[in-house]
Amino acid sequence: MVDFTKVRAIDFHTHAEEPCGCHADDGYDDLQSTMAKYFGAPWQHPPTIPQTAAHYRELNIAAVIFPVDAERETGYRRYKNEEVAELAADNSDILIPFASIDPAKGKLGAREARRLVAEFGVQGFKFHPTMQGFFPNDRMAYPLYEAIAETRKPALFHTGQTGVGSGMRGGNGMRLKYSNPVHIDDVAVDFPDMPIILAHPSFPWQEEALSVAQHKPNVYIDLSGWSPKYFPPILVRYANSILRKKMLFGSDWPMISPERWLADFDKIDIKDEVRPLILKDNAMKLLGVAA
């Protein structure tokens, strides 16, 4: 169990990766290497979960970690949620496990979500509409949302443009339209007690994301996937004011390291009293561990 009183921050957005070579036959390794070039990531092979835990432990930063189940849409085999949760449990002093389930699995996915929370200690769920090929407000996804809402665990949605497939032929089949955050407004209405996180500065729909987060009490924003030096002024303005209690630190590890993100965050115009909210306090409240 993470000692939240001692860690200096909570990174709400890190990706679980399998050891290298697991996807040589389905193209996932090529996708990852292209993404690494897009983000300027320094590694040759993505770090494993134990390597990720060691890195975050050294930094004294807790990390929400998850896979992405997009095998139906992309053909990339998913990293099993059970395996991710077990490895996170082995490093429970620093890692907080989220799961990912393709919403097209319907009732089967709903049963999996309930089981993962009850038997594996999963603390939330990750969706990537562009990779999974669905609009978040498609009623097809609602059986899964209903199961998640029962557990009161958060649902984290990728929003905005993605580095996945960027620069590849046809964007590697990834359709950006699915990740407009305005589609999540319907989900927030229909599941008002399910905490929802809009991941990333939502380019080119930043104002839509801010609007949804301001209007719906159960919607938050994580600031991962971009260096803070590129944050648009309106995002910084809202983070400093009416959304100061709804913004979360996230890096997008392993594409962006937490130390790189934090170094750039130190240089932008965020109020001193707001910084601890973004770096840790808001995440603690969302995870239900605030004092």
Residue with tokens 């209690």: 245
- Type of residue at 250: G
Domain ranges (residues) in the chain: 9-286
Domain 9-286: CATH superfamily, name plus number: Metal-dependent hydrolases (3.20.20.140)
Q: Which pair of structure tokens corresponds to residue 291?
A: 């004092």
Give per-residue burial for 257-279: e unless 16+ CB within 10 Å, then b.
Answer: bbebbbebbeeeebeeebbebbb
Report H helices in 60-172.
Answer: 71-74, 81-90, 106-120, 129-132, 142-151
Tens digit of pLDDT per residue, the chain (291 long)? 899 999 999 999 999 987 766 666 666 677 667 766 766 767 667 899 999 999 999 999 999 999 999 999 888 888 999 999 999 999 999 999 999 999 999 999 999 999 999 999 999 999 999 999 999 999 999 999 999 999 999 999 999 987 776 777 787 777 889 999 999 999 999 999 999 999 999 999 999 999 999 999 999 999 999 999 999 999 999 999 999 999 999 999 998 999 999 999 999 999 999 999 999 999 999 999 974
Looking at the whole model, is its pTM more than 0.85? Answer: yes
Residue 115 CB contacts under 8 Å (≥ 6 apart), including other chains = none
Q: Which helix (H) or strand (E) holds 211?
A: helix 206-215
Residue 86 CA to residue 16 CA, distance in Å, equals 12
Where do we find the tokens 């301001």?
214
- DSSP count for the chain of H helices, then E strands: 13, 8
User: Around Cβ 252, how many Cβ atoms within 10 Å?
Assistant: 24
Q: Please, which residues bridge with residue 219 across strands?
A: 196
Amino acid symbol at 197: I
